[in-house]
Amino acid sequence: MHSSDTAEIFFDNVRVPARYIIGEEGRGFFYQMLQFQDERLVAAAVLLEPLQRCIALTAKYASERKLFGSTVLDQQTVHFTLAELQSEVEAVRALLYRAVLSRLHGDDVTLLASMTKLKAGRLARVVTDSCLQFWGGNGFTWDNPVCRMHRDLRLHSVGAGITDAKLVVMGMTANDFAIADPEDAGMLDIVGFDSAVPTLLYDFVNGKL
């Protein structure tokens, strides 16, 4: 993976003057946990465009590549798979929009953020692996953008908490689904939803909110 220069850091015999302490001593992990909601939402948000591009590039390549007297894209298994992948991307987008709206309303979105990150991280692996398969040997060349996405987007199943950690968090917060009135479950004010959400998401991801 080339998208993250990941390495171990060692602090042997290091002394940090007290004046450089940020917050309270011993509370570093707590502070880190506080920002995880935003980090997980951003991690999912930045995946949407690469996944969309991965599908689009694969569809274009498959429409040009000849196979059995037609194109690769003409094979039912190929265009059915790409259609399924596109549907999954849109499903993650919808979940992300809901989580971001709740976050902007001031709600605790620990559960929604974990769900969004879980689904986005898994989908990144499915989309890139499925698309790479349709490129054949060409998909393993270093200058192939789908090859790069297959390699680099793997980070999103690990960064900001591994997939298994998301399941633990979701299990611990499952009581959030225990709503007194089932008719109120999952209801959002959708007035202006289509026009408002893209702007809110853009501002959220770019730190304007």
Catalytic residue set:
39
Beta strands in 9-142 (DSSP E): 66-67, 70-71
Distance between CA atoms of residues 78 and 190, nearest Å: 35
Calpha distance 190→4 (Å, rounded): 38
Longest dimension (CA), the chain: 73
Helix (H, G, I), strand (E, B) or coil at 70: strand
Type of residue numbered 160: A
Residue type at position 198:
P
